[in-house]
A and B are shown apart, each in its own frame.
Chain A
Amino acid sequence: MDRMPRWADVLLVPALSLLLAGAISALVILAIGENPWQALTIMVTGALGSTYGWGYTLYYATNFIFTGLAVALAIHARLFNIGAEGQAAIGGLGVALAMLHLPWPHWSLALLGAMVASALFGAAWALIPAILQAKRGSHIVITTIMFNFIAAALLNYLLVGPLKPPGTMETATARFPPETHLPDFRQMFSWGDTVLFRGTPANITFFVALLACVAVWFLVWRTRLGYEIRAFGLSEPAARYAGIGATRIITVTMLLSGALAGLMAINNTLGEAERLILNAVEGAGFIGIAVALMGRAHPLGVFLAAILFGALYQGGAELALWTSIPREMVVVIQALVILFTGALDNMVRMPVERLFARRRARAALSPPGPTLHPPGRAAAPSDPGKPAE
């Protein structure tokens, strides 16, 4: 049915893309006179070689899982949600307002409250672009980008004025009360004298992110709504013909997508900073696009891609801490990975697909026993395994 087996689609293509990105990064590092092998070792051990590294990797990954899921869910309805950045920022506003203005007796309640507040605020921020798309046909890409800027302006106003404690220079809210502080990995996984994840920001939100992965998988592949979303994404006219309302699907999908992006705020605002900081999202909304593309919009893929990008972030920081490789170079390496896994995906995918198609054609044309048929390209059109989508 597919041009190539599932394992090649999910594992081989991303792995080849990564290798290519790594090879070019190595050339770049060589060009500035550093040792690529040493750089790679520092990045890998720094990100994955200790619970300390994992503590940062998983913290970043948690952010990327939420924004990646947000983008991935929208992709199923053929909507390109570029607004995860703004939705996550507004989600942070929801968390901050809830934490600062309501009494929370225990962190578990605070976590639930933060989930509700961040999801509601994030969804609300996606609502207007969704309605504009559904009712007026204003392109969702344009409107969500615009809403990122509106979110930034709104937060800037609030954090320079009304929400900032008077007399402080920092553009941030006051710290949330201690009862709301979420348990971090150090508190959760250390026992006796063994201290793991010391000083790292990873916290219980990671497990919320895992739950979100399962929930999105269930929604998309196991519910009626998920079926409608996918049907709508595959063919809008067919979906309409089947009685699926475009307005409803667009609105609901964007609300869910915005809610997922908003949930990210639990991690960075309640879990890590314990206050709302200006520009707290720091581009995670945009990384989410790369994560969703690399993960083929599947929750498991999103999870794995998010871990990869988390490791890149943490590994990049270690690289800057231990070597004289400038931080711009670290950004170049990260950008190469995004470029190859996201934007240039087809560059690797198509040759691999051709390779598999040729192999299959050869297998189809050569029944057991010796044959003289050349496995030429001409055989391809008659291939019964043409893709349906």
Chain B
Amino acid sequence: MTQLSTLLGATAALALAAGAAVASPAVIFDLGGKFDRSFNESAFNGAERWREETGQSYAEFELTAEPQREQAIRRFAEQGHDPVIMVGFMSATPLEQIAPDYPETTFVIVDAVVDQPNVRSVVFNEHEGSYLVGMLAAMASETGTVGFVGGMDIPLIRKFACGYAQGVKAVNPDATVLVNFTGTTPAAWNDPARGSELTLAQISQGADVVYAAAGGTGVGVLQTAADRGILSIGVDSNQNYLHPGQVLTSMIKRVDNAVYEAMAGGEGLETGVQVMGVANDGVGWALDEHNEALITEEMRAAVTEAEEKIASGELQVHDYMTDETCPALTF
């Protein structure tokens, strides 16, 4: 018993020591886990880049249940971590309530807006990036039919689909955009077999370019597209290398940059809403040695022009989230 209490005491002391350490950042990954090959992994990569460059350490936690959102945010704030970074829109409501309890701590949330003075909210214009890859898809398509495979049917993914459809229609108003979602449970983010099935179904309907915005499920989409000799489009990070010469491009969402910048900003981080769009390289399309043969001079010129127009505000891509409708698509 004495031995046990000593041990417990030691753990408590350890805990206190950790709390008293110099403020270091903390990252809270969402339910997908930091190795989801997509959104969370991108955040993880940003954090790792910061760690390698500065040689400092950071605390991290991967959520496994909803109540842990509040638990992890409070724990990191109480331990003195600063900033406390969380990725994923589902943390918005918990953070909204918790942030005022820790006015000295700066919180960063990626993919949602939390209106508190000590919160930096980073949101991405995924519809703009999707618009650009939609244009490329329409120009690369010979059949006039292109596909979209989403993960779970949630508003965020509809935002991707809506931007994509607008880009397609901007190039070819008569084009058909096939939209399928993988499922209705979080398992839809990691179901390559089902992604593969949906891709086959879209191919049978004439699609010859398929855009996957489906986390781990996208691996199956890209694989099937490559096997069947059609083109695919990756998402979040640059996935061109997965099947060189068969991935048309990737819609890049620089979650890693958002996390890296938040960590580099340290304790005096600027708060408020930070919109990452085409204008500030927050989203974009990937061009590298793996897909340069697929992108013609004409395609490149058209997309570059659209990028400039979006950046200058001349071209407004409709955001599904503003009114939950899409001019180019019905869900």
Task: Please report A residues at the B interface, Cβ cutoff 8 Å.
Answer: 38, 41-42, 45, 49, 56, 59-60, 149, 152-153, 155-157, 160, 164, 166-172, 175, 199, 201, 268, 272-273, 275, 277-280, 282, 313, 316-317, 320-322, 326-328, 330-331
Bitwise interface map of B from 306 to 331 toward A, beta carbon under 8 Å scored 1, else 0 = 00000000000000011110000000
- With A168-B92, A169-B112, A331-B64 given, name 18 new contacts (CB 8 A): A45-B11, A56-B71, A152-B185, A153-B184, A156-B153, A160-B153, A167-B321, A169-B155, A170-B90, A170-B93, A201-B67, A268-B66, A273-B66, A275-B93, A279-B186, A321-B72, A327-B33, A327-B62
Q: Residues of B contacting A330 with CB < 8 Å?
A: 64
Is the CB–CB distance between A199 and B74 below 8 Å?
yes
| Chain B residues numbered 58-72 whose CB sits less than 8 Å from any CB in chain A | 61-62, 64-68, 70-72
Instruction: Give B178 Cβ to nearest chain A Cβ, in Å.
Output: 19
Query: Which residues of chain B are near A172, meaning CB under 8 Å?
Result: 90, 93
**Candidates B8, B66, B154, B321; contact of A45 at CB < 8 Å:** B8
B150 → chain A closest CB, angstroms:
11
How far, in whole Å, are A30 and B61 apart by their CA atoms in the complex?
21
Chain A residues near B8 (CB-CB < 8 A): 41, 45, 49
Contacting residues, chain B, for A153 (C-beta < 8 A)? 184
* Residues of chain A within 8 A of B191, CB atoms compared: none
Cβ contacts under 8 Å, B321 to chain A:
167, 169
CA distance A152 to B183 in the complex (A): 9
Contact indicator per residue, chain B 26-53, by CB within 8 Å of chain A (1) or not (0): 0000000100000000000000000000
Q: Is the CB of B67 within 8 A of A171?
A: no
**Structural contact, B64 and A327, CB atoms closer than 8 A:** yes
Say how far A223's CB is from chain B's closest CB, in angstroms. 36
- B256 interface hit (Cβ, 8 Å): no
Residue contact A322 to B15, C-beta cutoff 8 Å: yes
Q: How far is the CB of B262 from chain A (nearest CB, A)?
A: 19
Given A41-B8, A42-B11, A322-B15: A171 touches B66 (CB 8 Å cut-off): no
The answer to whether B61 and A170 touch across the interface, beta carbons within 8 angstroms, is no
| Residues A321 and B61 in contact, CB atoms below 8 Å apart | yes
Contact: B72 with A41, CB < 8 Å?
Answer: no
**B: number of interface residues (CB 8 Å):** 37
Cα separation A363 to B322 with both chains bound (whole Å)? 80
Q: Which one of A199, A275, A279 lies within 8 Å of B185 (CB-CB)?
A: A279
Majority secondary structure of chain A interface residues (helix, strand, loop or mixed): helix
Q: Using CB atoms, name the residue of chain B closest to A159.
A: B154
CA distance A324 to B154 in the complex (A): 32
How many angstroms from the CA of A313 to the CA of B66 in the assembled complex? 12
B241 CB within 8 Å of chain A: no
Inter-subunit contact A41/B7 (CB<8 Å): yes
Which of B71, B89, B112 is the one whose CB lies under 8 Å from A317? B71
Contacts of A273 in B (CB 8 A): 66
A-B contact pairs, 30 of them (CB 8 A): A45-B8, A60-B67, A156-B153, A156-B184, A160-B155, A164-B155, A166-B324, A167-B321, A168-B92, A169-B155, A169-B156, A171-B90, A172-B93, A199-B74, A272-B66, A273-B66, A275-B93, A277-B66, A280-B66, A282-B66, A317-B64, A317-B71, A320-B62, A320-B64, A321-B72, A321-B75, A322-B14, A327-B64, A328-B33, A331-B64
Q: Is the CB of A41 within 8 A of B11?
A: yes
Please provide the chain B residues from 171 to 187 with a CB less than 8 Å away from any CB of chain A in the complex: 184-186
Q: Are B61 and A199 in contact (CB under 8 A)?
A: no
Residues of A within 8 A of B67 (CB): 56, 59-60, 201, 272
Q: Which residues of A contact B185 (CB under 8 A)?
A: 149, 152, 156, 279
Nearest residue (CB) in A for B63 is: A327
B68 touches A169 (CB 8 A): no
Chain A hits for B156, CB < 8 A: 169
Q: With A and B bound together, what is the CA distance between A282 and B14 in angstroms?
A: 32
Is B152's beta carbon under 8 Å from chain A?
yes
Q: Give the shortest distance, in Å, between B283 (CB) and chain A (any CB).
A: 16
With a CB–CB cut-off of 8 A, which chain A residues contact B90? 170-172, 277
Contact with A along B2-26 (1 / 0, CB 8 A): 0000011001001100000000000
Question: In the complex, A156→B71 CA distance in Å?
Answer: 26
Q: Closest residue of chain A to B184, judged by CB?
A: A156
Min distance, Cβ B164 to any Cβ of chain A, angstroms: 18
Rounded to whole angstroms, the CA-CA distance of A277 and B65 in the bound complex is 12
Given the complex, which residues of A lie within 8 Å of B236, measured CB to CB?
none
Task: Give, as a whole number of angstroms, the nearest-CB distance from A62 to chain B.
Answer: 11
Chain A residues whose CB sits within 8 angstroms of the CB of B71 once the complex forms:
56, 199, 317
Closest-by-CB residue of B relative to A268 is B66
B15 contact set on A, CB distance < 8 A:
322
Q: Which chain B residue shows the least CB distance to A327?
A: B62
Of residues 69 through 97 on chain B, the ones whose CB sits less than 8 Å from some CB of chain A are: 70-72, 74-75, 89-90, 92-93
Find out whether the CB atom of A169 lies under 8 angstroms from the CB atom of B65: no
Is there a chain A Cβ closer than 8 Å to B208's Cβ? no
Chain A residue nearest in CB terms to B93: A170
Q: What 0/1 pattern do residues 156 to 175 of B give for CB contact below 8 A with A?
A: 10100000000000000000
**Cβ of B111 under 8 Å from chain A:** yes
